[in-house]
Structure 1
């Protein structure tokens, strides 16, 4: 049985749960990969760390099984229930990751359109903090759009920034 140390739980809690519609895929994958890299488990996700074949020593096989279980547990902790239940039917963590990645990055046109509309309608209120709006709202939405393949020129992005600000910043 795999247990998660308190320090790991704290670090893992900084990784957002992947929303079933994939809306937070960019931030999820960035933080999750950083966490998994720090645990030296990424090979289980990309398939480069494979189960040792005979005549490997039993200790080597047991070590792989332990790390595979840890990797599966970490991923399972950061998936919504419906996604987890579907992904958990896969045999290896690499298969689970491939399923989650494929499912999430193959966003339908209406999800991408909704993300674009959310970006286009993201405006800073008259009494809101402009820095917070730009850094935590608009910029995150911009990078999420880039992650799903939406292209935008620098001038289009600059125009969107200006138009998202309160009127007194625009004159």
Structure 2
């Protein structure tokens, strides 16, 4: 029973993500990691609040102090193990020579706070600059955009509703749909109590409008094809002075 309890204390749950070497998930990792370590009672080793008992020079530790020191050293090893489980090998190699888990954690915080901020800025910029491909399927594009929005949230990248709605959804669409969205948002500002439209509802409206416009283009295509066929037929009708027709029939006359 004690062995099982010790194993659980030294293991972090799978819900704690491993820190990405790029630092892109640092924000969410640091929150989840701290919560899990606090639940296990080891966070004091990371923050420095739980310090090793110091025995003054020239004195001998009491029995109680020796027990306390032994417990601190055991918990320190467990804390190091928890950290080792969730950081990339490259980070481990940079900090493993530091003697305490606090020093290791401080070094990781210093490195990945800046690295994570840069990586998240890159992801956010890329998301906000998304564009629907020319002649691309708008519904597929917006579905993928929504999935990416959720994925960014899991690594701590926040996209406000205003940015999601106006900067991404509005500016990423073909001009016909962009005009449609502008009209819907203008109407919401004038008549809706919230003065806006939540992104999910707006995306649903865009998909329906995209389907309507596609169906409208499809209905018009056969008529255009018929006009094209009629024009082609007229181009080869005698009396329309089609060069190829004249050349063909003049050669027949001359051969007689």
Q: Which position in structure 2 is the counterpart of 1:133?
A: 147
Q: How many residues align?
A: 162
Q: Which position in structure 2 is the counterpart of 1:30?
A: 31
Of residues 97-106 and 49-58 in structure 1, the stretch that sits farther from structure 2 once superposed is: 49-58
List gaps (5 residues or longer) in structure 2.
56-60, 132-137, 173-202, 211-256
Greater gyration radius: 2
Q: Which position in structure 2 is the counterpart of 1:43?
A: 44
Give how far 1:16 is off.
1.1
Of residues 119-128 and 91-100 in structure 1, the stretch that sits farther from structure 2 once superposed is: 119-128
1:90 aligns with 2:107: no
Normalised by the size of structure 2, how large is the TM-score? 0.52
1:144 aligns with 2:157: yes
Query: Matches of 2:21 and 2:94 in 1, distance apart?
Result: 11
Question: CA separation of 1:87/1:160 partners in 2, compared to 1, >3 Å: closer, same or farther?
Answer: farther
Q: Which position in structure 1 is the counterpart of 2:123?
A: 115
Q: Which position in structure 1 is the counterpart of 2:207?
A: 168
Higher relative contact order, chain-length normalized (CA < 8 Å, sep 6+): 1
Q: Is the 8 A contact 2:46 2:101 kept in 1?
A: yes
Of residues 155-164 and 79-88 in structure 1, the stretch that sits farther from structure 2 once superposed is: 155-164
Q: Which position in structure 2 is the counterpart of 1:159?
A: 166
Give how far 1:34 is off.
1.2
Query: Matches of 2:98 and 2:112 in 1, distance apart?
Result: 16
3-state DSSP class of the match of 2:84?
helix
3-state DSSP class of the match of 2:110?
helix
Query: Matches of 2:74 and 2:208 in 1, distance apart?
Result: 56
Q: Is the 8 A contact 1:119 1:138 kept in 2?
A: no
Q: Which position in structure 2 is the counterpart of 1:12?
A: 13
Give how far 1:114 is off.
1.9
Deviations 1:30-82 (A, max 9, x none): 21111101101111111111111114611100000011100000000101111
Q: Which position in structure 2 is the counterpart of 1:148?
A: none
Query: Matches of 2:117 and 2:34 in 1, distance apart?
Result: 26
Q: Is the 8 A contact 1:120 1:160 kept in 2?
A: yes
List gaps (5 residues or longer) in structure 1.
146-151
